[in-house]
Amino acid sequence: MNPKISVVVPVYNVERYLEYALNSLVQQTFIDDIEVLMIDDGSTDNSRYIMEKYALDYENFHAYHKENEGLSITRNYGLKLAKGEYVHFMDSDDLMITDAYEKLYNLASKNDSEVVTADFLRFNENNAWIQPISDYIFSELESNIDETNAYKYHKLLWDTPAWNKIFKREFLLENNLEFPNQNIIFEDNIFAIQMLTKAKKISILNDYIYCWRKRDVGSSISQADYVNR
């Protein structure tokens, strides 16, 4: 039987954080219904060995290795391997809240949603806080929204991260939705706008499901020099 959610985790030189991320998946209340696809994008540190350990220890964790091609291409690689009814793209230095997949899937299953999105927190080694953009999108909600889309709820146009959502795999495939097939920055924005123009049935979970790590200055290519880029 295929898993209900495929979790695609691109991995590149994140040995300091990777075990925290993977442990947050091991601890999921929905652990028996997910597959975890760890895709090594040509790491040169110990990340590849950490992945292999989890693949040995847990039968629904799978390790793959490829040459370095960037985040977008690595996510697309994982999407091609995915077997789940829904797909989630998780960054390998972040954390999932323990019951995240159970809540996301229950709402998706209830409404046959093409996409389910949810609130998220920003965090570092010392604190966690609400992001202004997250507050703008989600703060006025009093409960879950079973069915909407970007044409009805315009604030979704600001909801561009890939990692706070699950996507019906059939919806992505039928609409040829994937990340830009090149190594560029802000790849989530391009994917999100294409997805939002296609999705007719989006559900909104009025809860926090994801913790987005803020690394130390200079420790992350993707988070460095943000304003200039």
CA angle, 172 then 174 then 178, to 5°: 35
Question: What confidence tens digit (pLDDT) does each residue in 169-223 have?
Answer: 999 999 999 999 876 677 889 999 999 999 999 999 999 999 999 977 544 444 4
Average pLDDT of 137-164?
Answer: 96
8-17, 45-54, 124-133, 156-165: least confidently modelled range: 124-133
Average pLDDT of 124-152?
Answer: 92
- Which range of residues forms the domain containing residue 35? 5-213
| pLDDT > 70? residue 226 | no
- Residue 125's pLDDT band (cuts 50, 70, 90): confident
| pLDDT > 50? residue 39 | yes
Of 125 and 105, the structure prediction assigns the larger pLDDT to: 105
Residue 121 has a pLDDT of 95
Count CA atoms closer than 13 A to 192's CA, side-chain side. 19
Number of structural domains the chain divides into: 1
Residue 224 has a pLDDT of 41
Q: Is residue 141 part of a domain?
A: yes
Q: Is residue 192 part of a domain?
A: yes
Cα separation, 223 vs 204, in Å, equals 27
Q: Is residue 179 part of a domain?
A: yes
Which has the closest alpha carbon to 211: 93, 37, 106?
93
Q: Is residue 202 part of a domain?
A: yes
Count CA atoms closer than 13 A to 209's CA, side-chain side. 29
| pLDDT > 60? residue 227 | no
Q: Is residue 90 part of a domain?
A: yes
Q: Is residue 220 part of a domain?
A: no
Could you tell me the pTM of the whole model? 0.93
Count CA atoms closer than 13 A to 153's CA, side-chain side. 21
Which has the closest alpha carbon to 99: 25, 35, 43, 157?
25
Residue type for 160, please? T
Residue 181 has a pLDDT of 83
Which has the closest alpha carbon to 97: 38, 13, 30, 144?
30
DSSP lists the bridge partners of residue 39 as 10, 64
Residue 34 has a pLDDT of 98
Cβ burial 69-83 (10 Å sphere, 16+ → b, else e):
bbbbbbbbbbbeebe
Residue 179 is part of a domain; what is its CATH number? 3.90.550.10
Stated as kind and residue range, the H or E segment containing 228 is none
Q: Is residue 113 part of a domain?
A: yes
If you average pLDDT over every residue of the chain, what do you get? 93
Q: Is residue 40 part of a domain?
A: yes
Residue 133 has a pLDDT of 87
Residue 217 has a pLDDT of 53
Average pLDDT of 157-171?
Answer: 97
Of 18 and 226, the structure prediction assigns the larger pLDDT to: 18
Average pLDDT of 162-173?
Answer: 98
